[in-house]
């Protein structure tokens, strides 16, 4: 029955014609089905032997995507799907969603506390910490296109992140893609590399450079009003117009030169006359720098992007020890070394094709993200499903001690956690039931000392410590809490209202 004075069809009377409403179990089931469908879609991408997906839309070409945009996202989706799958079974047993949510919350907190207990921290030992970072990078790269050269790229990524000196600002690390050579020819370079060439007649090398970065139009000597007509009665008048335009351009260049910069970088074009003026003043002028390059260059040199030049005292110049032209493969590029932000560096990726380079960049970005977070929070844990087995054991113990229906939700949470190593085994073509049962026995026999995890190389259970398979504590903890919160949010849904489709006029 509805509330007094409110008709039973009140909701339908408020909605537009064509709008639909699902309530109660139907709404919850619809949410579950959608979430579990997405989890099943990405489930096969989990782990070092995971598959890739091809995304194809009508308007765009095919795009092959790897398993993760940032590290841990696949684990979040898969764990959320498994938690909802378990919750569906509990709801069928007439257990209220709020009881399930309460059980999941307690289980997640117990699992998080176990993660904190088993995490190792080698921040006080630089050699051991660097080894941890390399192992984490190799674990992240194992499921990517760079897996065959993961040792080389793990070293590159660790060296780049350690230059940040604890900062998580990855803007100071530039990734440049240059087709040619092999993936293994990629290298790390100190400083900043701009993918541009120095103009004709410009200085090729500037020491102790003062850098002015701008985004301004350098074509004020051109008439840009389309359709404008100028009537003159002699060629002398045409010459006067051209002289006025050049004088206007000269005045702007003089204002820029007055700032005392020795290197001028502009995001827009610099036309020939302006180039001549800068060359005569001994200034290296670089035109048409891409927006990302200009933003990052301003950051690493300590300058500000400016568009007006009326008052030099209001413009902040950047500084670096040396600006010179270098060769990368067959291309000339501009190298800025000794930048004001000393942690700035560039990773130059080489590869056979642009597609390989794009995928390599995404893979390397994942590794850099994980490493930067690990430097900020230096705790690490073993990978290969080891952490999930540890958390599942603790949650099961808590479930056995908890009275009431919440214990069923906790046991379901533990089963969902064990699905992560199960899926890793399935994706590698291994006997998941046998391997997970062996891992479970090993962790039960030695709760605090077991290092057993999925070893896809040997096709069985192996020591994650000996294999050097590590994960970042922060990433694993964030994945656990995100998956729990996502499943809780979907469990709370008991009403879905779909808007009426828009009518074509």
Check 44, 45, 74, 422 and give the catalytic one.
74
Q: Mention every residue, 6+ apart, whose C-beta is less than 8 A from residue 262.
A: 206, 208, 209, 210, 211, 282, 283, 284
- In angstroms, the CA 450 to CA 101 distance is 31
Q: Mention every residue, 6+ apart, whose C-beta is less than 8 A from residue 327.
A: 333
Residue 20 annotated as catalytic: no
Check 366, 422, 455, 484 and give the catalytic one.
366
- In angstroms, the CA 53 to CA 228 distance is 54
Strands annotated E in 429-478: 452-455, 460-463, 470-472
- In angstroms, the CA 186 to CA 350 distance is 5
Nearest to 29 by CA among 491, 413, 499: 491
Check 73, 147, 216, 402 and give the catalytic one.
73
Q: Of how many residues is the chain composed?
A: 505
- In angstroms, the CA 306 to CA 490 distance is 48
Looking at the DSSP assignment, which residues form a beta bridge with residue 495? 23
The radius of gyration computed from the CA coordinates of the chain, to the nearest angstrom, equals 30
- In angstroms, the CA 457 to CA 145 distance is 17
Residue 67 annotated as catalytic: yes
Three-state SS letters, 370-418: HHHHHHHCCEEEECCCHHHHHHHHHHHHHHHHCCCCHHHHHHHHHHHHH
Check 44, 45, 66, 67 and give the catalytic one.
67
The tokens describing 18, both together, are 């064509």
CA 28 to mean position of chain CA atoms: 32
Looking at the DSSP assignment, which residues form a beta bridge with residue 176? 348
For residue 500, the 8-state DSSP code is: P
Nearest to 85 by CA among 34, 27, 47, 24: 34
Tell me which residue has tokens 């007509």: 229
Tell me which residue has tokens 């004088």: 247
- In angstroms, the CA 86 to CA 340 distance is 54
Burial tier of 140 (Cβ tally within 10 Å: 0-12, 13-18, 19+): buried
What 3-state class would DSSP assign to 466? helix
> Residue 384 — φ and ψ, nearest 5°?
65, 30
Residue 73 annotated as catalytic: yes
CA 338 to mean position of chain CA atoms: 27
Residue 402 annotated as catalytic: no
The tokens describing 344, both together, are 């700035």
Q: Which residues are catalytic?
A: 67, 73-74, 366
């Amino acid at each position: 029955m509805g509330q007094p004075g409110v008709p039973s069809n009140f909701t339908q009377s408020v909605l537009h014609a064509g709008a639909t409403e699902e309530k109660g179990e139907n709404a919850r089931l619809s949410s579950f089905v959608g979430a579990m469908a997405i989890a099943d879609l990405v489930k096969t991408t989990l782990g070092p032997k995971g598959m890739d997906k091809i995304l194809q839309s009508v308007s765009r070409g095919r795009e092959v995507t790897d398993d993760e945009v940032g590290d841990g996202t696949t684990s979040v989706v898969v764990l959320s799907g498994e938690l909802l799958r378990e919750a569906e079974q509990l709801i069928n047993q007439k257990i209220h969603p709020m009881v399930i949510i309460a059980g999941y919350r307690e289980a997640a907190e117990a699992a998080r506390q176990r993660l904190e207990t088993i995490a190792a921290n080698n921040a006080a030992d630089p050699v051991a910490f660097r080894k941890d970072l390399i192992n984490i990078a190799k674990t992240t790269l194992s499921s990517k296109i760079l897996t065959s050269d993961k040792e080389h790229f793990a070293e590159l990524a660790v060296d780049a992140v350690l230059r940040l000196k604890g900062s998580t600002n990855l803007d100071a690390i530039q990734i440049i893609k240059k087709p040619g050579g092999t993936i293994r020819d990629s290298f790390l370079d100190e400083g900043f590399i701009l993918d541009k060439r120095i103009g004709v007649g410009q200085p090729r090398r500037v020491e102790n450079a003062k850098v002015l970065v701008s985004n301004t139009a350098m074509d004020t000597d051109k008439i840009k009003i389309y359709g404008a007509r100028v009537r003159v009665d002699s060629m002398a008048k045409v010459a006067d117009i051209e002289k006025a335009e050049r004088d206007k351009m000269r005045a702007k260049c003089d204002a820029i030169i007055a700032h005392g910069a020795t290197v001028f970088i502009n995001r827009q074009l610099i036309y020939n006359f302006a180039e001549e003026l800068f060359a005569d003043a001994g200034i290296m002028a670089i035109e048409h720098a891409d927006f990302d390059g200009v933003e990052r260059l301003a950051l690493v040199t300590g300058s500000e992007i400016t568009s007006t030049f009326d008052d030099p005292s209001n413009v902040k110049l950047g500084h670096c020890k040396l600006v010179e032209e270098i060769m990368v493969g067959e291309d000339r590029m501009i190298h800025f070394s000794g930048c004001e932000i000393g942690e700035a560096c560039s990773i130059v990726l080489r590869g056979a094709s642009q597609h390989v380079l794009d995928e390599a960049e995404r893979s390397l970005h994942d590794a850099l993200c994980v490493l930067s977070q690990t430097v900020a929070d230096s705790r690490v844990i073993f990978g290969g499903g080891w952490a999930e087995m540890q958390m599942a054991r603790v949650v099961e113990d808590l479930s056995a001690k908890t009275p009431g229906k919440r214990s069923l939700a906790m046991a379901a949470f533990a089963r969902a956690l064990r699905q992560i190593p199960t899926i890793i085994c399935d994706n590698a073509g291994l006997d998941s039931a046998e391997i997970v049962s062996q891992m479970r026995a090993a962790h039960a026999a030695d709760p605090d000392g077991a290092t057993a995890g999925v070893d896809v190389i040997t096709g069985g259970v192996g020591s994650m410590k000996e294999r050097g398979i590590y994960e970042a504590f922060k990433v694993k903890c964030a994945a656990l809490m995100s998956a729990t919160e996502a499943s809780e949010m979907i469990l709370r849904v008991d009403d879905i209202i779909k808007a009426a489709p828009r009518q074509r006029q």
